[in-house]
Structure 1
Amino acid sequence: MQNKENVYRLAYSYVQNSEDALDVVQDSIQKALATNNLKDSGALKSWFYRIVVNTSLDFLRRRKKVKVVDDHTLQRHSAGREDHYKDFDLYEALNKLSPDYRTVIVLRFLEDLKIEEVAEVLDLNVNTVKTRIYRALKILRIQLENIEGVNQNG
């Protein structure tokens, strides 16, 4: 499968656990093969991303957002050779966003989709996507400034 790392990363951005992300990807593949309602083969990527996003959201609803941290993630965030605090703050702020806002940020900036592709994946109007991105970035900026202020004063 082409872009398997991107699909896994997209699922992981929602479920925050490597095993669960693999389950989401596997479930998404099964759903894609079962439905097979793709009308335009040129839209394969956005069609499958939509399935991954919806499957991830379904998974979170079932799990009620209980996060289990796997050993790999725990080691990555524990004391080590490199300082990951800057990225950690960003991911922490990103995880605090509502799913609607987090989804557009992940697809636009982490998966590097164009705004039109994000709209297609989420089945939204382009202007709705632009508005959500604008609001999400504003919230992220405020959250990161607050974290930075706490870190400087603390």
Structure 2
Amino acid sequence: MKQDIRQLLVTTITEKKENYYRLAFSYVKNKEDALDIIQESIKKALISVDKINDSQSINSWVYKIIVHTALDFLRKQKKVTLTDVETLEFFSQGQVDDYQNVDLQKALDELPVKYKSIILLRYFEDLKIEEIAKILEENINTIKTRLYKALELLRIKMD
């Protein structure tokens, strides 16, 4: 039985690897860090695979591990943001951007983590409210309230 769950875990990770990477990347905005988070999350999942009782919840269990690993990583990094070479060159040329910044990604990055996580899981990973509540270990009504508040904050930032 446990061998079947271990095999199902490996299959799930293999099939959903792009989704897991995208989720990790959305937190850290860096390819190498996202890969580190995925690697650490897979290691944690494989070590604690014996704790899974319901094979139907493996996908949301892996999402939960990735979210917690990403948040731990961010806490350790203290949110250091690096600028790429193209951005530095753009600003060093003295060019002025006359357009309002309506970039959704930037607005998402400015959200508090508790709201950003819900938006990412709901709209980018297409998870149900119940799954998000399970992943974030929160009450379903709390998730609904935070989702509403997050959308309201995004709307304000985008206006």
Query: Which category describes the TM-score, using the shorter chain as reference length?
Result: 0.7 to 0.9
Match of 1:24 among 37, 40, 46: 37
What TM-score does the superposition give when structure 2 sets the normalisation length? 0.79
1:69 is displaced (CA, Å) by: 5.0
Q: Give unpaired runs (5+ residues) of structure 1.
A: 79-84, 146-154
Amino acid at match of 2:64: R
Q: Does structure 1 conserve the Cα–Cα contact (< 8 Å) formed by 2:28 and 2:70?
A: yes
Q: CA RMSD in A?
A: 2.0
State the match for 1:138 in structure 2.
152
State the match for 1:63 in structure 2.
77
1:121 is displaced (CA, Å) by: 1.0
Separation in structure 1 between the aligned mates of residue 130 and residue 101 of structure 2, nearest angstrom: 27
- 1:110 paired with 2:124, answer yes
Q: Does structure 2 conserve the Cα–Cα contact (< 8 Å) formed by 1:16 and 1:69?
A: no
- Please identify runs of 4+ aligned residues in structure 1 that moved more than 6 A: 85-88
**Structure of higher CA gyration radius:** 2
Q: Give unpaired runs (5+ residues) of structure 2.
A: 1-13, 91-98
Distance 1:109 1:87, change over 3 A: farther
Separation in structure 2 between the aligned mates of residue 28 and residue 87 of structure 1, nearest angstrom: 34
Q: How does 1:1-154 map to 2 (within 5 A)?
A: 1-36=14-49, 37-69=51-83, 89-145=103-159
Could you give the per-residue CA deviations for residues 8-38 of structure 1, whole angstroms, max 9, x where no partner exists? Answer: 0000010110110000000000011112221
Separation in structure 1 between the aligned mates of residue 55 and residue 102 of structure 2, nearest angstrom: 38
What TM-score does the superposition give when structure 1 sets the normalisation length? 0.81
